[in-house]
Chains A and B, each alone.
Chain A
């Protein structure tokens, strides 16, 4: 339930065992390997191997497989469940497939070739269709279009603008040169198509007339005989093309049975790639190599045992120096692990501080519930996510997120019980165990701020623990205890202004507040300058710290969003219900009412759940983490199989699971 302690591991091994040792480490998946440069004295004897060429080769292979898999998913899609996890396969099955890798590559190549053919066919299809389209104006003419001239005549194909007067054109042409004939083709919106046949001697007489009418010539490509003949020929070509495409598609569909093998090999190569890349990071001499890294302390014994048993190598495990930062891995039990989606979005804590997951989860879930605030919505959320958790096998990240939503659903139900709010039905507000926020928003506002103050005080508490863990007791007293005194005094003295409470300003508790506030100010003024070296800083360092009161005040107000979002969802739920009551006719009320209720409540739920999710996040990130979070740690990134489709269950990974409480995330 915390940040996992890490040990340093150093392995000195033999080059000829390097590949299989790396394979074992990859299967273990618990060592974060550092990259180090050889020392000055060793520069000429030890260096890192060049792996660029190998990487390039594997990358090409991976992308070839990826393309094949993509093609399969386009032409032969498999329906995947909405939540799916990687397949688990045994080591035996895995190596059986990997041994026949060449066979799989042949298939992948076949799929890629077929797709290339399909792409070619698509452009051929476009070309044929464009040709057919260009034939359309000439379909009614029964002259061969591929004969531009005979011994004595010319035949020009072309068009004039659609608005040209054809009768006039024919008249003018007859006047200029009687041995000319116009054959009209079809027209479209812009052009009138025609063929003009005339005796060769008249070209100089015909041309000026045609030019007057803006005639432009066209040459048709790929025509034989009349337009109809050409069209039929093109159509039969197209049909053949369609048939061939069907065949190719059928072949691809048939190859879809190879999908699983393609996926396995692709993941196998991805692991291979990781091994090659890691090999390039290890310093090696002619016959030895050295590997340095971090691994969880609780697993170091087992890893050492395994490496020593299988390989001729020297393994050293060391604990880090007290001040040394190590990679951060946060490991929590099955309940608190739900905090990780929220924490991961913020950043990595430092390896020296307390893991805030558990505290944060409690407040996160509680605030989410108050903001969504409707028991009915909570019930739906909890049932939905609970069903998903029970029914599907999920990847770790997804499972944690769904689990978080499940808790949020429960918390929203709890808020519904407190507020008497169930699907915004106003009659049920009498069942409220606590406040009805819509009736008494002022009081709810004061409570929201109080929850905020508790939240922030918890933040200071964690800061105090961090100090104490490092032995800085005096800092804990000055920066946490004195702040507690100051802010408690501040809050108590402002009680008369709190809406909905009506505490008289003369009451005893307010007076206690004044005293505490004054004491707090005095203590801070005395102590906050203690880190300054100069006398000026020692005296006035505390004054700047008093500014924290203002930011504390604005932080407090920030928690009024709990009230605001809770009210918004409650009121809109109520409005949706009221709209249904507006219909007089009972039949209309049932039909339209059901629709309005469904759509309205779904929308309200979706918008407000999103609002509750992000605003609860914000309250953690700014108001809570701002009080103590140091951050700046580097995440623990173990050398492991980052696969897409499969998880290989190997003896090595089984060995690690046995005897330890749980696997490493």
Chain B
């Protein structure tokens, strides 16, 4: 057991797993709830398909950010990394993973509200997108932080 926790590769892989896994869980949840609302709105008015789809797709980006970081972490894993590097790579996965989860979940809720907004006022698509993008900003920051951390390892 001890040997696993002192294994640098294990920590690095754990970091990659957290980055992708947690962020993607959030995106799945966000896109899921927004998609249900979108289907409801499109059932009433098929012409709103594309606007509803844009709003539904917004919470998908957190998963992409997690994917990017996971990939970059995996690229850094070699046979001879030290334990310190392994732990650093683990830490690198945390911002994008954890922030991504919450950001995607809440963005999904805001997107859902936005979809309901365009159901009543189709011309308000711009406003709906802006509200959802406010939440996205934190995921972007976490991606940037993770990237900057990776640059130092």
Residue numbers of A with Cβ under 8 A of B are 345-346, 441-442, 445, 499, 557-558, 560-561, 563-564, 567-568, 571-572, 575, 607, 610-611, 614-615, 617-618, 621-622
Q: How far is the CA of A560 from the CA of B72 in the complex (A)?
A: 18
17 contacts between A and B (CB under 8 A): A441-B151, A445-B144, A560-B141, A561-B140, A563-B144, A563-B147, A564-B143, A564-B147, A567-B68, A568-B61, A568-B64, A572-B64, A575-B71, A610-B57, A614-B133, A617-B126, A617-B129
Q: Write out the residue numbers on chain B whose beta carbons fall within 8 Å of the beta carbon of A563.
A: 144, 147
Which residue of B54, B72, B144 contacts A564 across the interface (Cβ within 8 Å)? B144
Instruction: Provide the B126-153 mask, 1 if CB < 8 A to any CB of A, else 0.
Output: 1001100100110011011001100100
Q: How far is the CA of A560 from the CA of B61 in the complex (A)?
A: 15
Q: How far is the CA of A488 from the CA of B123 in the complex (A)?
A: 38
Instruction: Provide the B69-109 mask, 1 if CB < 8 A to any CB of A, else 0.
Output: 00110000000000000000000000000000000000000
Q: Write out the residue numbers on chain B whose beta carbons fall within 8 Å of the beta carbon of A607.
A: 57, 60-61, 64
Kindly provide the distance from the CB of A593 to the nearest chain B CB, expressed in whole angstroms: 19
- Does A621 contact B147, Cβ atoms closer than 8 Å? no
Q: How far is the CA of A610 from the CA of B111 in the complex (A)?
A: 15
A568 with B60, Cβ < 8 A, contacts A441-B151, A445-B144 known: no
Size bin of chain B's contact surface: 20 to 34
Q: Write out the residue numbers on chain A whose beta carbons fall within 8 Å of the beta carbon of B143.
A: 564, 568
Q: Write out the residue numbers on chain B whose beta carbons fall within 8 Å of the beta carbon of A610.
A: 54, 57
Q: A442-B148, A617-B126, A621-B130 are in contact. List 14 more A-B contacts (CB 8 A).
A: A441-B148, A442-B151, A499-B148, A558-B137, A561-B137, A561-B140, A564-B140, A571-B71, A607-B57, A607-B61, A610-B57, A614-B129, A617-B129, A621-B126
Q: How far is the CA of A442 from the CA of B151 in the complex (A)?
A: 8
Q: How far is the CA of A618 from the CA of B137 in the complex (A)?
A: 11
Q: Write out the residue numbers on chain B whose beta carbons fall within 8 Å of the beta carbon of A618.
A: 129-130, 133
Kindly provide the distance from the CB of B116 to the nearest chain A CB, expressed in whole angstroms: 18
Q: How far is the CA of A341 from the CA of B61 in the complex (A)?
A: 24
Q: Write out the residue numbers on chain A whose beta carbons fall within 8 Å of the beta carbon of B71.
A: 571, 575
Q: How far is the CA of A116 from the CA of B133 in the complex (A)?
A: 49
Max chain A Cβ within 10 angstroms of own Cβ: one of B60, B137, B147: B147
Q: How far is the CA of A240 from the CA of B92 in the complex (A)?
A: 74
Q: Write out the residue numbers on chain A whose beta carbons fall within 8 Å of the beta carbon of B60.
A: 607
Q: Write out the residue numbers on chain A whose beta carbons fall within 8 Å of the beta carbon of B67.
A: 572, 575
Ranked nearest first, the 7 interchain pairs of A and B with the lowest CB-CB distance are A345-B126, A618-B133, A561-B140, A560-B144, A564-B143, A571-B68, A564-B140
* B33 CB-CB contact with A under 8 Å: no
DSSP class of A's interface residues: helix, strand, loop or mixed? helix
A-B contact count (CB 8 A): 62
Task: Select from chain A the residue with minimum beta-carbon distance to B55.
Answer: A614
- Does A567 contact B147, Cβ atoms closer than 8 Å? yes
Kindly provide the distance from the CB of B67 to the nearest chain A CB, expressed in whole angstroms: 7
Q: Write out the residue numbers on chain B whose beta carbons fall within 8 Å of the beta carbon of A345.
A: 125-126
Kindly provide the distance from the CB of B128 to the nearest chain A CB, expressed in whole angstroms: 10
Kindly provide the distance from the CB of A578 to the nearest chain B CB, expressed in whole angstroms: 9
Kindly provide the distance from the CB of A236 to the nearest chain B CB, expressed in whole angstroms: 39
- Does A611 contact B151, Cβ atoms closer than 8 Å? no
Q: How far is the CA of A567 from the CA of B67 in the complex (A)?
A: 12
Q: How far is the CA of A540 from the CA of B65 in the complex (A)?
A: 44
Q: How far is the CA of A201 from the CA of B148 in the complex (A)?
A: 99
- Does B144 contact A571, Cβ atoms closer than 8 Å? no
Kindly provide the distance from the CB of A605 to the nearest chain B CB, expressed in whole angstroms: 13
Q: How far is the CA of A445 from the CA of B147 in the complex (A)?
A: 10
- Does B72 contact A571, Cβ atoms closer than 8 Å? yes
Q: How far is the CA of A575 from the CA of B70 in the complex (A)?
A: 12
Q: Write out the residue numbers on chain A whose beta carbons fall within 8 Å of the beta carbon of B57.
A: 607, 610
Q: Write out the residue numbers on chain A whose beta carbons fall within 8 Å of the beta carbon of B129.
A: 614, 617-618
* B58 CB-CB contact with A under 8 Å: yes
Q: Write out the residue numbers on chain B whose beta carbons fall within 8 Å of the beta carbon of A564.
A: 65, 140, 143-144, 147
Q: Write out the residue numbers on chain A whose beta carbons fall within 8 Å of the beta carbon of B144.
A: 445, 560, 563-564
Q: Write out the residue numbers on chain B whose beta carbons fall within 8 Å of the beta carbon of A575.
A: 67, 71
Kindly provide the distance from the CB of A237 to the nearest chain B CB, expressed in whole angstroms: 36
Kindly provide the distance from the CB of B8 to the nearest chain A CB, expressed in whole angstroms: 23
Task: Select from chain A the residue with minimum beta-carbon distance to B147.
Answer: A441
Kindly provide the distance from the CB of A444 to the nearest chain B CB, expressed in whole angstroms: 10
Task: Select from chain B the residue with minimum beta-carbon distance to A578.
Answer: B71
Kindly provide the distance from the CB of A503 to the nearest chain B CB, expressed in whole angstroms: 17
Kindly provide the distance from the CB of B114 to the nearest chain A CB, expressed in whole angstroms: 12
Kindly provide the distance from the CB of B127 to the nearest chain A CB, expressed in whole angstroms: 8
Q: Write out the residue numbers on chain B whose beta carbons fall within 8 Å of the beta carbon of A614.
A: 54, 58, 129, 133
Task: Select from chain B the residue with minimum beta-carbon distance to A445.
Answer: B144
Q: Write out the residue numbers on chain B whose beta carbons fall within 8 Å of the beta carbon of A622.
A: 130
- Does A557 contact B130, Cβ atoms closer than 8 Å? no
Kindly provide the distance from the CB of A499 to the nearest chain B CB, expressed in whole angstroms: 6
- Does A346 contact B126, Cβ atoms closer than 8 Å? yes
- Taking CB atoms and an 8 Å cut-off, the chain B residues in 11-42 that contact chain A are none
Q: How far is the CA of A563 from the CA of B72 in the complex (A)?
A: 15
Q: Write out the residue numbers on chain A whose beta carbons fall within 8 Å of the beta carbon of B126.
A: 345-346, 617, 621
- Does B140 contact A560, Cβ atoms closer than 8 Å? yes
Q: Write out the residue numbers on chain A whose beta carbons fall within 8 Å of the beta carbon of B148.
A: 441-442, 445, 499
Kindly provide the distance from the CB of B96 to the nearest chain A CB, expressed in whole angstroms: 10
Task: Select from chain B the residue with minimum beta-carbon distance to A448.
Answer: B144
Instruction: Provide the B111-125 mask, 1 if CB < 8 A to any CB of A, else 0.
Output: 000000000000001
Q: How far is the CA of A345 from the CA of B133 in the complex (A)?
A: 15
Kindly provide the distance from the CB of B55 to the nearest chain A CB, expressed in whole angstroms: 10
- Taking CB atoms and an 8 Å cut-off, the chain B residues in 42-61 that contact chain A are 54, 57-58, 60-61
